[in-house]
Structure 1
Amino acid sequence: MRTRLTLLVAATMVLVLLAFLVPIGLLLRQVAQDRALGQADDVVQTIVPLAGGDPATLQVVVTAQAVPVTVFLPDGTTVGVPATATPAVLLAKAGHQALTVATGAGRELVVPVVGANGTSVVRTVVTDAELSRGVTRSWLTLGGLGAALLLLGLLVADRLARTITAPITQLSEVSHRLANAELTARAVPAGPPELREVAGALNHLATRIQDLLAAERERVADLSHRLRTPLTALRLEAESLRDPEEASRVASAADGVARAVTAVIQQARREVTTQPAGCDATAVVSDRVAFWRVLAEDTGRPVTESLPDSPLPVAVAADDLAAALDALLGNVFAHTPDETPFSVTLTARPSGGALLTVADEGPGFPPSAATRGASGGDSTGLGLDIARQVATTFEIAGGPGGAVVSLSLPTL
């Protein structure tokens, strides 16, 4: 925008300068020609009274002039600069009329003088150099003045454009900071009134977003905290079971849910950060598969696990990756019959990161499964979206006879 404003001012100034300088340049050339012709005419008019007088006096006066003058006497002789009679001289002598004729060398001035002995003709030539004397210097002066004015105009235009574009650039920077979750970023109202109004509106929007997010975090935290009461009751019920192994398993599951609720509360109250988190995908996936394996054995589901032998770092927080895998495996248990086999595969990607795949041999996903909040079963429909949030690419494949969900995890 700054460049465009400067170019617009430059184009306008060039047109204005041309509109003024071109006529002035032509006028200066005309003035120079008129001045040269006027000087030559003054010389001729000085000699005219002497043309019919004493030839000696005429010779002295003609020789003393600054311009070349020739006087053609009635007897055919000449006084002054030797020259032959031109058509203009002959025409002036015959017609008794003063003439100014353009020639290849410049302008020829002839004035007839009628005397007692006949008609004399006074002739002088104004060369092209005399006609254009000083014109080139004047044009160069005008050109320099025009260039100086143009540069000054561009400097002023650039400063004015900067006063307009600087607030716009600041607004852009603040908007990018807000987009990067830096909610404390604020714009300084500056520039024209319209831009100051936009800056105030952007600041108001940022404050409103910050307030809404704070309120949303508190609501999520409050909602999650309400789950602690039924979890406490579940833990007490688990402790009352007579089978110690069964009690331990149910208590462990209740503790896992309690940890998940605590993580939700902490995440809801955590300030948004742009720093990427990371974890060892191999360790997280192995831990969650081990957790779900117990329930798989109770429901007769064969589990196939394929994990790397070494740590596999990814740019996903451990809690987020665990929640994503729990959501996918929870769908397997919730939407497939007992004894349905499923598999979990984690492989390293050649370009970095990892590929996590969860497959089962159940009835597959309904057409609405890819839509957030939509579910083909009796659920919230948010499980797949939780998994989608941690992946760079998210793919669902398979229909009746099996389903495959693939998550590409970013590299750390």
Structure 2
Amino acid sequence: MRRRLISSTLAVVLVVISVFGVSLVIVETRTITSSAQESVDSEALRLASIVDSRLVGGERVDPDILSGHGGGERYARIEIPGSPRIELGERPDGSVIRGTAVGERGERVTVEESRSSVTREVGRTLLIIGAVALLAVVAAVLLAVRQANRLASPLTDLAETAERLGSGDPRPRHRRYGVPELDRVADVLDASAERIARMLTAERRLAADASHQLRTPLTALSMRLEEIAVTGDLDTAREEATIALAQVERLTDVVQRLLTNSRDPRTGSAVPFDLDEVVKQQVEEWRPAYRSARRALVRSGKTGLRAVGTPGAVAQVLAALVENSLMHGGGTVALRTRVTGNQVVVEVTDEGPGVPADLGARIFERTISGRNSTGIGLAVARDLAEADGGRLELVQLKPAVFALFLSRETGRRDRDEDRRDDPAPPRPIR
């Protein structure tokens, strides 16, 4: 590309110089020739006027007198009727420029100048024009090289950016080149890089969320299948199979929700539901795991509450909190339900050492974990809670108390009773 830009620019400059240079040479040659002719004619008229003035005054006309009046630089021939011919200067050889003038007394003055002087003047002019043309060509080449580099370097850089995008490196470069068209291309590439980065982030996040959210139902399903495998009682097997089918339905719901969130994370399907059923379900699902760890899982608080949200999402949030207490907490884990204002609160607490102070404000950030875990469980749980208009907070560090706040489906009288009965909620840890 650089070679083409330089060649095209140089070709344009050469054409312009050729057209204008030839025209200028022709004009200058004619101007110099015309000027020389005018000078010779003027010299002939001047000498004719001198001769006339001396003849009118009866004075003698001879070469010495005419030479004293400025003649002799060019060849001049004066022909006076009845007098010998007078010649001034040396007669030039070859082609000449001739000027003739006739006086009032019939005298004829002829002035000649060698055309070689005109040729020398034309040569000097051509030399000057050629030097200027050469400088113009050199300047054009330098400008063409500079412009070619200015245009080719950004294009090379943009090609490298496009190649980086194609190889999976979506970092925008934010480089601009001072050329509107190239800057527009750079803007488009940077915008594409940002979109690709968001898409890759969303895909990685979906994969991480899917692996985490599917792990809990799969664990519960595995435990039920193990119970079926070891039991010899048909009724127990049927009961465990029924629970396993419920776990399959939960898995289907999780997958559907993940697909919905991947298309639009803001999509929600909040509906009124019985909170007691969700809490009871989680207690029954996790109680075998707690028995295996020789720990207890209990529920307390107000019953008969109806909340607004997605039952599957609320179940996943509670499962994440219960699993977090199983892995990182200690002692008995309690699920307590209460009412504050127009909200239903589900608190999950244990008797363990609590959350370190340095992690308290960052506990819901992804990759933040007190032990060797994925660090995304609580982050996913908070996202699920917020998707339906609720919120998940850490309201106490030691012992750790996590609170899930959901909108409550209730009448005005119930809200007045709740305000009298329920104490002010604890402030979340920030």
- With the length of structure 2 as denominator, give the TM-score of the two structures: 0.42
- With the length of structure 1 as denominator, give the TM-score of the two structures: 0.43
* Greater C-alpha Rg: 2
